[in-house]
Every structure is written in structure tokens, then in C-alpha cells.
């Protein structure tokens, strides 16, 4: 161990001496994702997204070679900062892509303010405040965030499904708060009810939902569920086993492919469940189909998922934006990236999921997909695209000052009495 450490120290010292001179014809790009711990699988798919964009550009942009250096966090903000600091201060990257999760994003945004000459572009982190309040001038998000992902779902539940009163079941941290906010805000504005005492916030990682299921009220039209991964599978199968009969409305990661493709007995419960998010697996559009085909070509049989996850998608879009802007400025970052960031701000480009541009706080305006779980032709469960909600902004079209009055996302926002 000592030996490894010594070698590393030596190697690092050499690197530290060598780095300023070598960077003439290459641009160092950092890619940060969760490559360890329980989020390792999404983290790997994120790196696949970066590599797809780089491959498309043959690892060159603006006439310069792009060198990708990866960093890894364990999804905690402190580790994300340490990995970012290493990439920026030690490896000397000028363009950062990442991170993956919400609280990491907030931390990286804060760190970005201390590195004004480095440009930070989001991965898939989807916390509202990363760009909404106190944004960093050098942090860009070409992927959308958790509240935006819910666009159209509240109206759909109220107008089409005719639900008037819902209960809420969600994990107890900021991402579900953001999703609940995004869903309830329009739903309640239309007249829907979701009393605060019918909102159940369970600790993340909870496996046994039987008592929560028993405590769910009977006098509601539906349950809005924002749980992710294992938690979602556990809840859905236990709900079905307990004979639960209320219809569900789902958050963006509650009925995604990882949940629908699992072995759990959830079929009866989830069919017909509406949801919304930044991608739709079955979208019948040539751009999306080409993206999926490319993903399969590169990663099928090499550890890739059957279809790109929203992590691959988000990292792809953000990397793509960086490369397009680098092309525009001919790879010139000699002014501390000023021109590059100006190019990013005014960038508007076609992605596999439609047109993307930025608002004045550098957050994406993009299309959101309203979906519903159906039984596919071969009997498996898939999300069918019901509607594409076009060009959703972070403030849902409300003026910025007005939107801030809605307050920060929390367990009780909106109150919705």
C-alpha cells in the first residue's frame, strides 16, 4: 500500500510539473459520475452518455483533441467536491461535465464560483436551486430538473383523469420534494386537493411499506408516488400484494425501465399509471430512434442497458453542448473560457429529445414527455408516449420574480388545502 502511495505521489508530482506545457493542442474535459457504491450502475451509464457525444465528434472539437478524464463520487456532496477539485486543480480540466445527483449539483455549483475560469456543465443533477437561486455564472444545465420533469402531469391528472384529491407517498429528501412540487403546483392551482396530512414522507432506502400502505387514506382518488429504484419496486409489489386498489400517478423514476423490467409482481398495479420525465423509451421519433440505435451499437453486450437511461441521455446532451460550443469558438479557451461560455449561453441545438436552449440563469428549456404504462406487444411493460409537452422552462412560463414567490420546495409546498 505504501508502495502504491509512493508511486502515485511520484506520478502526481511529475504530472504537476508537466501539465502547463502539454495542453496546447488538447482540451481536457472532466467527467464526474457516481462510479462506486449503490449508484454505480447509473454512473456507468452516464459515462456512456459522455462517450457517445465524444465519439460523434471523433474526440475533437474546434480543431483540438478532447481528452476525457473521469472522476468518481459516492453520491455524497463532499465526495463530489473532492473529485471535482482533483479534476480541476490537479488534472487541470477546463470543462467539467457532471455531477449525477441533486445535492452533488448544489455543491458543485458552489465550488464553481471559486473557479471562474473553468466551465461547469451539469450531468443529470436535477435540484431546482442549482440554477434557480444564486446561480453560478459558469454553471450550465442543458438537462432539465425535477420540477420541469413533471410538466403537464398535474393538468393531465386533473383534466383527463378527473382526479380531485390525491395522497402523496415520496422519499424524504429534496429530489422528491421537487417532483411533488412540480406535480402539485398545477394540480392544486386547477382546484385539486392534496392535504398535508395525506402526504407520507418515508426515509430513503425504506424497504417495508406495509404499514405505510395500511395508513394510506381511502377517501382519495389516486396516490401520487415518487420513489426511486428499489424503493419503488418494493412499494409497488407490496401494494399489489396487500390488495391495494387506488390508481397511481408516478414520479419520473418511479416507473422507469429499471422498475418496469424488474421481476416484481407489479403488473396489475402499474398498468395505466401516468408519469412524466425528460425521456420516453418508446417515443416514435427518428431522432430518438437513431440515438437508441447508436447506444445499442456502442454498448450492447458491453454492459449497456437495453435502452439508454435518462442518465446517459442527460450526460450526452450536456457533453454535446460543450462540444458544439467549442466548435463555435474554435477551441479557444485562452481567455479563461469567456467566449466559450458566451457561446454556450446562446446555444440552441437539436437533441434526440427535441430542441434545447437556455434561459438567462443557464437552465435548459426543453421538451418533456407525458407517458403512461401499458402492456407492450410482447407482454412486457413499457411507457407509452401520450403527449410531448414542448419547451418547458424552469419557471413554467411564470415570470422569474413571480415564480420565486412560490417558495422553496419542501414537504409542505405547495400547501394545497
Partner 1 sequence: MPGASGKANAYPLGINPAFLLAAVFLIAYPLFASDFFTFQIGAYSLILGTIALSLTMLAGYGGMVSIAQMTVAGFAAYIMAILGTNSVGVMGLGWPWWLTAVLAILGAALLSTFIGAIAARTEGIYTIMITLAIAVAFFYFVRQNYQIFNGFTGFAGIKPPTLFGVYWRDPTPFYYLTLAIAAFFYFAVLYGARSSFGLGLQAVRDNPRRVRALGINVFLHRVVAYFYAGIIAGTAGVLLVWFNGRVSPGIVGVDMAIDILVIAVVGGMRAPIGPFLGAIAFVLLENFAIDLIDRERFNTVIGLAFLLVVLFSPDGLLGIWRRMESRIRLPRANVRWGGRANRGDWHPAGSPERT
Partner 2 sequence: MQRRTILILGIVLLTAALLWMIFAVWPGWLIDAIGRKKTFVNTLLNGITLGGLYFLVASGFTLVFGLMRNVNLAHGSMYLLGGYIGYEVAEATGNWFFGLAVAFLVIAVSGIALQVAIFRRMQGDELRQTLVTIGISIIAADLMLAVWTGTTYQFDTPEALYGAVVLPVISVIKSSGAPVFIKYPMYRLAVLGVAAVVGIGLWLFLNRTRIGMMIRAGVNDREMLAASGVNVHFIFALVFAIGAGLAGFAGVVGGTALSIAPGEDIRYLLASLVVVIVGGLGSVTGAAIGALLIGLAEQFGLAYFPTYGVVLTFLIMVGVLAIRPQGIMGTR
Taking the C-alpha atoms of residue 31 and residue 123, their distance in angstroms, rounded to an integer, is 9
237 is a site residue for partner 2 (CB under 8 A): yes
Q: Exposure pattern of 134-173 as b/e (b: 16+ CB <10 Å)?
A: ebbebbbbbbbbbbbbbbbbbbbbbeebebeebbbbbbee
Contacted by 214, from partner 1, partner 2, none: CB < 5 to 8 Å by type: partner 2
Size (the chain), residues: 417
Contacted by 35, from partner 2, partner 1, none: CB < 5 to 8 Å by type: partner 1
- Residue closer to partner 2 (CB basis): 11 or 38: 38
DSSP for 224-266 reads EEE--HHHHHHHHHHHHHTT--S-EEE-TTTSSHHHHTSSSS-
37 to 56, contacts with partner 2 by CB under 8 A? Answer: 37-42
C-beta of 366: minimal distance to partner 1 in Å? 25
Helix or strand or coil: residue 86? Answer: helix
* Number of residues near partner 2 (by CB under 8 A): 35
Of 77, 152, 186, 229, the one binding partner 2 (CB under 8 A) is 229
390 is a site residue for partner 1 (CB under 8 A): no
Instruction: Tell me the torsion sign for CA atoms 385, 387, 388, 393.
Output: negative
Taking the C-alpha atoms of residue 256 and residue 258, their distance in angstroms, rounded to an integer, is 6
177 is a site residue for partner 2 (CB under 8 A): no
55 is a site residue for partner 1 (CB under 8 A): no
H or E element at residue 300:
none
Query: Which runs of consecutive H residues, i.e. helices, occur in 254-309?
Result: 257-260, 267-270, 286-299
Of 67, 86, 201, 388, the one binding partner 2 (CB under 8 A) is 201
Contacted by 70, from partner 2, partner 1, none: CB < 5 to 8 Å by type: partner 1
Contacted by 207, from partner 1, partner 2, none: CB < 5 to 8 Å by type: partner 2
CA 141 to chain CA centroid, Å, is: 10
Taking the C-alpha atoms of residue 228 and residue 38, their distance in angstroms, rounded to an integer, is 13
77 is a site residue for partner 1 (CB under 8 A): yes
Instruction: Return the residue matching grid coordinates 398495479.
Output: 269
Contacted by 396, from partner 1, partner 2, none: CB < 5 to 8 Å by type: none
Part in contact with partner 2 (CB under 8 A); list of ranges 121-129, 133-141, 194-202, 391-399: 194-202
Part in contact with partner 1 (CB under 8 A); list of ranges 169-177, 227-235, 283-291, 395-403: 169-177
Phi first, then psi: what are they for 303, rounded to 5°? 95, -5
- Residue closer to partner 2 (CB basis): 24 or 211: 211
Instruction: Return the residue matching grid coordinates 418533456.
Output: 368
In sequence order, the β-bridge partners of residue 348 are 357
Residues that bind partner 1 (CB under 8 A): 1-2, 4-5, 8-9, 11-12, 16, 35-37, 40, 44, 70-72, 74, 76-79, 81-82, 85-86, 89-90, 103, 106-107, 110, 134, 172-174, 203-204, 408, 410-411
Residues that bind partner 2 (CB under 8 A): 37-42, 172, 200-203, 205-208, 210-215, 229-230, 233-234, 237-238, 241-243, 258, 262-265
Amino acid at each position: 500500500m505504501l508502495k502504491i502511495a509512493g508511486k502515485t505521489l511520484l506520478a502526481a508530482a511529475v504530472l504537476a510539473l508537466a501539465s502547463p506545457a502539454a495542453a496546447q493542442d488538447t482540451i481536457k474535459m472532466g467527467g464526474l459520475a457516481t462510479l462506486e457504491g449503490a449508484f454505480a450502475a447509473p454512473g456507468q451509464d452516464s459515462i456512456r452518455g459522455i462517450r457517445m457525444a465524444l465519439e460523434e465528434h471523433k474526440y475533437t472539437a474546434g480543431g483540438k483533441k478532447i481528452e476525457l478524464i473521469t472522476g468518481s463520487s459516492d453520491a455524497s456532496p463532499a465526495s463530489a467536491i473532492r473529485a471535482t477539485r482533483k479534476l480541476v486543480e490537479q488534472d487541470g480540466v477546463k470543462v467539467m461535465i457532471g455531477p449525477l445527483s441533486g445535492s452533488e449539483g448544489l455543491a458543485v455549483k458552489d465550488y464553481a464560483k471559486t473557479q471562474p475560469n473553468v466551465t461547469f456543465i451539469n450531468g443529470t443533477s436535477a435540484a431546482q436551486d442549482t440554477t434557480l437561486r444564486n446561480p453560478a455564472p459558469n454553471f450550465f444545465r442543458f438537462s432539465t430538473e425535477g420540477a420541469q420533469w413533471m410538466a403537464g402531469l398535474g393538468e393531465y391528472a386533473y383534466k383527463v383523469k378527473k382526479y380531485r384529491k390525491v395522497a402523496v407517498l415520496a422519499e424524504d429528501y429534496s429530489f422528491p420534494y421537487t417532483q411533488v412540487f412540480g406535480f402539485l403546483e398545477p394540480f392544486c392551482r386547477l382546484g385539486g386537493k392534496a392535504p398535508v396530512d395525506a402526504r407520507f414522507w418515508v426515509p430513503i432506502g425504506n424497504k417495508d411499506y406495509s404499514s405505510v400502505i395500511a395508513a394510506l387514506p381511502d377517501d382519495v382518488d389516486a396516490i401520487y408516488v415518487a420513489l426511486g429504484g428499489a424503493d419503488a419496486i418494493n412499494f409497488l409489489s407490496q401494494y399489489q400484494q396487500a390488495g391495494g386498489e387506488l390508481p397511481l400517478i408516478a414520479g419520473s423514476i418511479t416507473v422507469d425501465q429499471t422498475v418496469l423490467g424488474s421481476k416484481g409482481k407489479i403488473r396489475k398495479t402499474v398498468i395505466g399509471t401516468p408519469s412524466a420525465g425528460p425521456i420516453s423509451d418508446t417515443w416514435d421519433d427518428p431522432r430518438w430512434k437513431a440515438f437508441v440505435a447508436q447506444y445499442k451499437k456502442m454498448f450492447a453486450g458491453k454492459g449497456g442497458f437495453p435502452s439508454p437511461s435518462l442518465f446517459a441521455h442527460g450526460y450526452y446532451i450536456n457533453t454535446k453542448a460543450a462540444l458544439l460550443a467549442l466548435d463555435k469558438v474554435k477551441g479557444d479557451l485562452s481567455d479563461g473560457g469567456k467566449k466559450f461560455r458566451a457561446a454556450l449561453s446562446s446555444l440552441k441545438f437539436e437533441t434526440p429529445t427535441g430542441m434545447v436552449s437556455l434561459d438567462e440563469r443557464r437552465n435548459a428549456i426543453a421538451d418533456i414527455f407525458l407517458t403512461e404504462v401499458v402492456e407492450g406487444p410482447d407482454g412486457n411493460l413499457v411507457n407509452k408516449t401520450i403527449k410531448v409537452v414542448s419547451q418547458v422552462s424552469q419557471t413554467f412560463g411564470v415570470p422569474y420574480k413571480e415564480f420565486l414567490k412560490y417558495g422553496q420546495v419542501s414537504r409542505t409546498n405547495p400547501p394545497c388545502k
